[in-house]
């Protein structure tokens, strides 16, 4: 049994990670400032004596005794990280410095949830970990993109200078139950629009691509990375299956049975045209590869949003 800190633990991915760690018999401290996380997500864990919920912002230092730290604390969708870009930068820079300082003091292993956004609008396809990226440092997405890049820099410098035991994973598009309806991600947007009978909004011509990893597959990769000795990363965690936005929209319409139409809007600034991970390193070092096909993973995701939409309609009544 380990004592494990999960920052951002009440968020979408964090909740699934906390559940997995509890199932393995660990003590879990879930730390969240509830900017995008939700108490409702972790409500089922509160009766577990091995689970502790703390309201805290990692921009402020904290003293804890833990064996492992999963740092997931940062808004991860454009709607949320652009809502307060300076706060996003602080979370990525000051926050990771506080977590690294904690890891250094208590000799804990720390895993940083980085992102495929460090590759920007990539000129290399698919993206390998050796690719340095094509990122606009002054664009509307740079508070997140560059913030995550600086966080990786700090992870490596704390490791080289102070011997901190680090792990870096670069997370590609992830979906599944417990996603927020208003997070602005393409899966939640399409599903909620379809369930509400609204037109599905596709930006650009819909031929830009993304790769979608089901959340349980991602959590499996993160846990394997944390418990892998002798490998710091970074390592890509994502599903190499590549789909256009048009293909995703058609799948959502078919699975929801919606009669909604597809409408096209201008592409946001610096929106990547293609995104697909090369997961050769994850296969080699972690023995990991995703197992959930998009078609199957969308089913429980849609059921989650059916409940969310139904609940919101009841509240309005």
What CA–CA distances, in Å, run from 168 to 98, 192, 257? 16, 32, 40
**Active-site hit among 70, 81, 119, 144:** 144
Say if strands 200-203 and 235-237 run parallel, antiparallel, or are unpaired. Answer: unpaired
Question: Exposed, middle or buried by CB within 10 Å (0-12, 13-18, 19+), for 247?
Answer: middle
Annotated catalytic, 264? no
Handedness of CA 145, 300, 274, 184 (dihedral sign): negative
What distance in Å separates the CA atoms of residue 192 and residue 169, rounded to the nearest whole number? Answer: 29
Q: Rounded to the nearest 5°, which phi and psi values hold at 250?
A: -65, -40
Give which of 1, 4, 38 is closest to 18, Cα–Cα: 4
Cite the active site residues.
Answer: 144
């Amino acid at each position: 049994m380990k004592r494990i800190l999960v920052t951002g633990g009440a968020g979408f991915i964090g909740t699934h990670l906390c559940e997995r760690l509890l199932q393995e018999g660990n003590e879990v401290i879930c730390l969240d400032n509830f900017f995008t996380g939700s108490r409702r997500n972790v409500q089922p864990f509160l009766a577990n004596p091995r689970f502790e919920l703390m309201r805290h912002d990692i921009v402020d230092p904290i003293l804890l005794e833990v064996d492992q730290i999963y740092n997931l604390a940062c808004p991860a969708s454009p709607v949320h990280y652009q809502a307060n870009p300076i706060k996003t930068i602080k979370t990525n820079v000051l926050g990771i410095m506080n977590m690294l300082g904690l890891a250094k003091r208590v000799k804990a292993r720390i895993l940083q949830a980085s992102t495929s956004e460090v590759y920007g609008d990539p000129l290399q396809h698919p993206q390998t970990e050796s690719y340095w990226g094509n990122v606009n440092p002054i664009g509307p997405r740079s508070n997140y993109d560059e913030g995550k890049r600086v966080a990786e820099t700090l992870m490596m410098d704390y490791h080289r200078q102070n011997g901190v035991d680090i792990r870096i994973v670069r997370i590609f598009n992830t979906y599944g139950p417990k996603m927020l309806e208003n997070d602005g991600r393409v899966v939640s947007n399409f599903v909620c629009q379809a369930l509400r009978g609204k037109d599905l909004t596709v930006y650009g011509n819909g031929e830009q691509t993304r790769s979608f990893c089901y959340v349980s597959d991602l959590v499996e990769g993160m846990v394997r990375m944390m418990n892998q000795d002798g490998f710091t990363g970074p390592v890509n965690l994502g599903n190499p299956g590549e789909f256009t936005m048009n293909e995703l929209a058609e799948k959502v319409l078919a699975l929801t049975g919606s009669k909604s139409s597809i409408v096209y809007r201008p592409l946001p600034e610096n929106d990547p045209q293609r995104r697909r991970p090369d997961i050769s390193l994850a296969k080699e070092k972690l023995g990991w590869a995703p197992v959930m096909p998009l078609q199957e993973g969308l089913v429980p995701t849609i059921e989650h949003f059916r409940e969310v939409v139904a609940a919101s309609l009841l509240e309005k009544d």
